[in-house]
Amino acid sequence: MKNKLPAEFLGTFWLVFGGCGSAVLAAKFLVTEGATPVNLGIGLVGVSFAFGLTVLTMAYAIGHVSGCHLNPAVSIGLAVARRFPSGELLPYILTQVAGAVAGAFVLSLIAGGQVGFSTDGGFASNGYGDHSPGRYSMVSAFIAEMVLTFFFLFVILGATDSRAPKGFAPIAIGLGLTLIHLIGIPVTNLSVNPARSTGPALFVGGWAVQQLWLFWLAPILGAAVAGIVYPAVAGSGSAEASK
Residue 180 and residue 171: Cα distance in Å, rounded?
14
Q: Partners of 66 in the beta sheet?
A: none
Percent above pLDDT 90 for the chain: 86
Select from 150, 131, 156 the least CA-distant residue to 141. Answer: 131
| DSSP for residue 68 | -
pTM of the model: 0.93
pLDDT higher than threshold 60 for residue 241: no
Percent above pLDDT 70 for the chain: 97
User: Would you mind telling me the total number of residues written for the chain in this entry?
Assistant: 243
| DSSP for residue 48 | H
Q: Domains along the chain?
A: 4-111+119-240 (1.20.1080.10)
What's residue 237's pLDDT? 56
Mean pLDDT, the chain, rounded, equals: 94
60-104 residue pLDDT tens: 999 999 999 999 999 999 999 999 999 999 999 999 999 999 999
